[in-house]
Copies of this chain bind each other. A is one copy, B any other.
Amino acid sequence: MKNKYKEEVLVLFGKKVKELRLKKKLSLRALEKECDIDNSYISKIEHGKANIGFHTIVELAGAFKVHPKELFNFEHEWKDEAFM
């Protein structure tokens, strides 16, 4: 699959993280304390600029106390061109 599409999903994921963070009224530095992830790294995640690992995903979900799948709760469909 083209990298372009993975990065699109990464951006959607990042927006979800930001959405959850703002819903909890946390600053980047406040969230950093909840999940032990550097605030500048969280910023990169929210902008889809970091291809984060599974542990990091779970750590974020834990900070929000939500099921990890909640972070993937956005609209997305596979288009044929993603695989060409």
Closest chain B residue, CB of each to CB of A75: B67
- In the complex, are the beta carbons of B52 and A53 less than 8 A apart? yes
Residues on B with beta carbons closer than 8 Å to the beta carbon of A54: 6, 9-10, 13, 51-53, 57
In the assembly, what is the distance between CA of A77 and CA of B3, in Å?
32
Give the size range of A's interface with the partner: 20 to 34
Interface residues of A in 7-27 (CB under 8 A from B): 9-10, 13
Q: A6-B55, A51-B55, A53-B53 are in contact. List 10 more A-B contacts (CB 8 A).
A: A1-B62, A3-B55, A5-B58, A6-B54, A9-B58, A13-B54, A62-B78, A68-B72, A69-B69, A69-B72
- What residues make up the interface of A, taking CB atoms closer than 8 Å to B? 1, 3, 5-6, 9-10, 13, 35, 51-55, 57-59, 62, 65, 67-69, 72-73, 76-78, 82-83
